Chain A
Amino acid sequence: MTRPSWVFINFTLFLMMVLICSSLQSSLLHWIFNWHATFQLAITIAVYVILNRGQVESLIFTYLAFYCMAALSNMFEGVAVLTGVTLYLGLRTIRTRIYSPTPTHFTWAALSSIFLFHFLSWIFTVGLELNVPRAHPLVWVLEILITALGIKPLYHLLQWIDQKTNRVTVSEIIL
């Protein structure tokens, strides 16, 4: 198969994983844990793509992934995409400074992104909506702690998928 085909397959596969993980979070994990906090798998996958792909591909993926996540929520699509794009810009900036492609760095980047996603979406909602929501930082912290339990196996799984779809992780991209 040609390289564009592998890129397309990999892109579609990751997008489907975001959809399936979002479905998993909002159904099975909710029935099991019955909490407001859950394993944030979808955002973790999006962070992986942002950190390990080229600029344009990761930007398009960010738009689509966060739009898909907003479709499963009452959150405005614009707020979700705006938050996702802000995360994208922040992660790409940090990537050129201090990031290295190791599980530890990825874990810190992903967990920070999960907290920042909730915080930034709350900020944007306060600024853009009439009805001011309440912030629940303790729930966000709990979500980070829960996600931290499963993030390393998820990282290795994503790396394995990249290897099987002949995607070399791009480690030297300048913003």
Chain B
Amino acid sequence: MDAVPAIRVVDLRKSFGALEVLRGVSFDVHRGSVVSMIGASGSGKSTLLRCINRLERPSAGEVFIDGEPMGGPVTASGERKERPLKDINRMRRDLGMVFQQFNLWPHMTVIGNVIEAPLRVRRMSRKDAIQLAEECLARVHLSEKGKEYPARLSGGQMQRVAIARALAMQPKAMLFDEPTSSLDPELTDEVLTVMRELAADGTTMIVVTHEMAFARDASDRVLFLHNGQIEEEGPPDQVFGQPRSERCRQFLSKKLQ
């Protein structure tokens, strides 16, 4: 394992008004490893993921991407200054994100969705961007759908395009926010298969999921969140086999029934 983790989360806290959603979460994600986050709805999993790429600004704590703090360096007086948005955008390129609702841009074709960020953000030439997009679409097994509009795709296909769009930024890590939760059961497999392939290729991934089989078989570490804190963490065998926390045991027994 490398000395500097791909993603390091340190004592992350987030409140919405009086509601404390995250109460001090710390963990590391090492390069090439897959971390699954499980837990009941409202346990803070999605908020945690959105704090990592700063779609939500954490109330306290810090996220380091390859050792670089997202929130900006600490000044001599010990204060942490918020980075300018331009800096944050630069760091976000290193984190591909896949959303529960896919969030494809409906006015662009599949290929248009995938080349948009490489063109506008990474300033690639159109020719290179299209070549890259075709590679990414091949990885999600949708090479033939480039010219379609998202409205013509099934949910599973849309989510795979969203994965290709995130891959096209060639990120250092991928964040998945319940990628199969809004899919019909018969469509989840095609998405999970792609995710397993990415994991096998050595992609660094954080996956918020309700798919216990995926968490158990495809991840290196599993975090169980409860009330904004990590209640249980460890390799899948341990978390699923001998959970120390009673709450985790209850959660899993309900999920695995």
A binds B: no
